[in-house]
Structure 1
Amino acid sequence: MSTSETVDDPVAALQRADERLARARQRVDEFGEADLRQLADAYDEFTGLLNRYEEPATGDGDFQKFIEFQGKIESAVERLADDILLREAFEEADEHLQQRRLSESDFAYVREQLEPVADLVGRLDERDDALAAYRRARRRVEQARHETSERIDDLERLVRLGEADLDAPTERLRDPIGAYNDAVQTAWREFRRDAPAREVVAFLDSMGQFPLVPFETPPSELREYVRERPPGEKPVPKLLEYADYSRSKLDHYVDDPAALTRAVGTRQTYLQRLDADPLTVDWPPPTAEELEFRTKELTAAVNRFAPDVVEHLRAVAALPRETEYRRLRESAVAEADLTDGERERLKSGAVEDELADARERLERLETGLSEYPEE
């Protein structure tokens, strides 16, 4: 593979991360995990003492701290295992620090003497860093696989749309759906305008049992107010009008202005936004199976406030039985969704080329994940 092909290639990056991890593990294995851990613990203790006591133990610092420091250093070295790696480096450091007086240069000298220890201990960190980098690289391959799979789905969809008959008589679907949508929107406007608010809110509350008719559930305080208080007999527009009245003006229309303000005044946006969208059928229409389930729920919902509209809905529900629904729907989707640019790409064969490249990339990504397992 050329250099240009490896740019932004997550599998190549994963391969490099794997090679780095293998080298780092080999460097740890040269001395053994347990021995390096033992050395790291000793190094951490020793350098911790250096850092803690350097200031009070140097120059004209605290003499008690100076004595304490030398004792702790000596004790730390005495506790070292006989077979610990580079034991002599600790012993030499201890010997250098057991002077009558210490300066900053002595601490610097000791740290320099311990550099071989730091280098060995660093192999553990190198291995851990390499493992973390490997995991990040593998996650990038997984993400690339996910994105490529989605890309393939999109391209395959474009190919299917490109195969649709754009001259098909999609009005056989559009006209019944449009007639139903117009009818239910008119019926809903009349229901919201004329029916008592408690009936409207009760209807909305009952829609909770119909997930395919996605009205927002009415707030509990509003529901209780219109059910129990006399203003609930008024239509929704009148309640919204009341909510805009001043407190003194509202006193003339309701017996408890504060309750109306709490229940309705704070829910005006909810009431104002109530429209028939949850009751309509989308264009392009859903699949035949989705349409079947949706029209069943819509029938139950619409029959509660506009039974005359149900006849229009029955005509929509019958479309998959009475038309070449799948073919007409694919044509409708293609008409609505295909852009001029996508049509040109389909015509030129660019989409098929992109699809072939994406499938090849997905195969490479899946092979990479198989060759380099989770760690």
Structure 2
Amino acid sequence: MPDETLTAADADTLRERLLAARDAHAAAEADIESIGEESVVAAADAYRKAIRLLDNYEESAVGTGDFQAYVEFQDKFLGLVEELPEELPDREAFEAAADRMDRRRLRERDFEGARADLEAAESYVEYLDHRTETKEELTEARRDAKLLLKDTDSRISELERLVELGEADVDAPVEHIRDPIDRYNEAVSEEFQSFKQSESAQEVLSVVEAAEWHSLVEFRSPPRDLREFVRESPDADEPIPTLLEYADYTGSKLDHYAEDPAMLQTSVAVHRTYLERLDADPLCVSFPPPSAETLRRKANELVSVLDRFASETTIAALRTVRELTRRDDYDRLRTAARARTELTDAELERLRSGAVETELHELREAHDKLADALSEADG
């Protein structure tokens, strides 16, 4: 269902967000590239390791409490700094921290001073974190843009439908197509009901199963155990209403009427709702009717199904419906019928005022701009 609250402003706002996210990520990438990717990653890694050592050993290595921790910390911290590449950005910050830690006795203020020495190198972590954050925002903005474009497409299609219906000749004689469709629908509904009431369940469900080969005749498929019942049980020779009546019988009473009471109970009783709701709706033609091509295809498929149970009178009524599609004014009458059926008073008023055309124009323009921005961001 299209979102009727969606406006061109929504697309424009997201476009601005997308472009801002693209520019922010590009700037973050440029900051790193100006220094060098490897250098920034190495400096950030060294900073994280140095801070981790300070945090882990501050309590145990200060004073004279734990000499082993003190020796272990100095060995790791000074070794870390010694192994840093000579060209590492702000290497002097690490060297200053190492000089501060190269003492026979460490105090808390030494750890605080080392952290202050390392502040210059913290920016490299911030460079990488900022790039990650801008990348995530850009990814989210791209995703939201794709979703909004989809919603915008749906809304544009809906507005185009309204414009098409607004151009309809609402005074056109739609009864020329409605009356034949009504006659056919009434005939096929009565005939299928009679067929269901009088013929065997096996015969009725064979028609439903045969309809599965036709994509425009949308019967709900019989459940698997019901298919097995009509193929294997001799009780399937009874009409559906009789079987539904049998399904209400107690076990001892059912023994007198059914040849396979157990199968009838497990198949018919379980699927009572399916059998009761089985009707001619999938065989009917909707009003307003579908496009001429679709109606012709459906009519051809319906003929194949109706040949299995319907009278020539009903089939002739269907052929009359199919012939409607050859009328020169079929599309005009169909559009008029759709306009009368589908347009609300509020939609008619918006069409008369030109609000629909204005919204459609603005939404198309915003859609194209957002699509261009998304293409640029993906590039």
Separation in 1, partners of 2:223, 2:13: 52
SS at 1:373 equivalent: helix
Deviates further, 291-300 or 87-96: 87-96
Kept after mapping to 2: 8 A contact 1:28/1:123: yes
- Residue 264 of structure 1 and its aligned partner are, at CA, apart by 2.4
For 1:221, the equivalent position in structure 2 comes to 225
Partner residue of 1:299 out of 280, 298, 303 = 303
Q: Which amino acid aligns with 1:135?
A: T
- In the TM superposition, what are the counterparts of 1:169-208 in structure 2 within 5 Å? 169-208=173-212
- Residue 304 of structure 1 and its aligned partner are, at CA, apart by 0.9
Partner residue of 1:129 out of 117, 126, 133 = 133
For 1:333, the equivalent position in structure 2 comes to 338
Deviates further, 238-247 or 333-342: 238-247
Kept after mapping to 2: 8 A contact 1:251/1:257: yes
Deviates further, 177-186 or 221-230: 221-230
Separation in 1, partners of 2:264, 2:202: 14
Q: Which amino acid aligns with 1:154?
A: E
Separation in 1, partners of 2:108, 2:212: 76
> Aligned pair count?
370
- Residue 158 of structure 1 and its aligned partner are, at CA, apart by 1.6
- Residue 291 of structure 1 and its aligned partner are, at CA, apart by 0.5
- Residue 313 of structure 1 and its aligned partner are, at CA, apart by 0.5
Deviates further, 71-80 or 310-319: 71-80
Q: Which amino acid aligns with 1:289?
A: E
Pairwise CA RMSD of aligned residues? Answer: 2.7
Partner residue of 1:282 out of 286, 291, 313 = 286
Kept after mapping to 2: 8 A contact 1:25/1:127: yes
- In the TM superposition, what are the counterparts of 1:139-154 in structure 2 within 5 Å? 139-154=143-158
Separation in 2, partners of 1:53, 1:246: 82
TM-score (norm 1): 0.88
Deviates further, 112-121 or 209-218: 112-121
TM-score (norm 2): 0.87
For 2:347, the equivalent position in structure 1 comes to 342
Partner residue of 2:32 out of 28, 31, 47 = 28
Partner residue of 1:364 out of 364, 369, 373 = 369
For 2:117, the equivalent position in structure 1 comes to 113
Kept after mapping to 2: 8 A contact 1:144/1:365: no
Q: Which amino acid aligns with 1:336?
A: T
SS at 2:377 equivalent: coil
Separation in 2, partners of 1:149, 1:40: 45
Is the aligned partner of 1:211 residue 2:215? yes
Q: Which amino acid aligns with 1:158?
A: L
Is the aligned partner of 1:353 residue 2:358? yes
SS at 1:167 equivalent: coil
Separation in 1, partners of 2:11, 2:150: 19
Kept after mapping to 1: 8 A contact 2:11/2:366: no
For 2:6, the equivalent position in structure 1 comes to none
Q: Which amino acid aligns with 1:193?
A: Q
Q: Which amino acid aligns with 1:212?
A: L
Separation in 1, partners of 2:10, 2:258: 75
Separation in 1, partners of 2:268, 2:226: 6
- Residue 283 of structure 1 and its aligned partner are, at CA, apart by 0.6
Separation in 2, partners of 1:298, 1:74: 87
Is the aligned partner of 1:270 residue 2:274? yes
Kept after mapping to 1: 8 A contact 2:18/2:377: no
How big is each residue's C-alpha offset from its partner over 1:130-184, in whole Å with a ceiling of 9 and x where there is no partner? 2332333344444444333333322222222111111111011001101111111
Separation in 2, partners of 1:42, 1:237: 82
Kept after mapping to 2: 8 A contact 1:6/1:12: no
* Runs of at least 5 residues in structure 1 that lack an aligned partner in the other structure: none
- Residue 67 of structure 1 and its aligned partner are, at CA, apart by 3.6
Q: Which amino acid aligns with 2:317?
A: H
- Residue 297 of structure 1 and its aligned partner are, at CA, apart by 0.5
For 2:319, the equivalent position in structure 1 comes to 314
How big is each residue's C-alpha offset from its partner over 1:71-102, in whole Å with a ceiling of 9 and x where there is no partner? 32233223221221222222333344455555
Change (3 A) 1:206 1:88: same
- Residue 34 of structure 1 and its aligned partner are, at CA, apart by 1.4
Kept after mapping to 1: 8 A contact 2:235/2:259: no
SS at 2:294 equivalent: helix
- Residue 270 of structure 1 and its aligned partner are, at CA, apart by 2.0
Deviates further, 331-340 or 268-277: 268-277
Kept after mapping to 2: 8 A contact 1:135/1:374: no
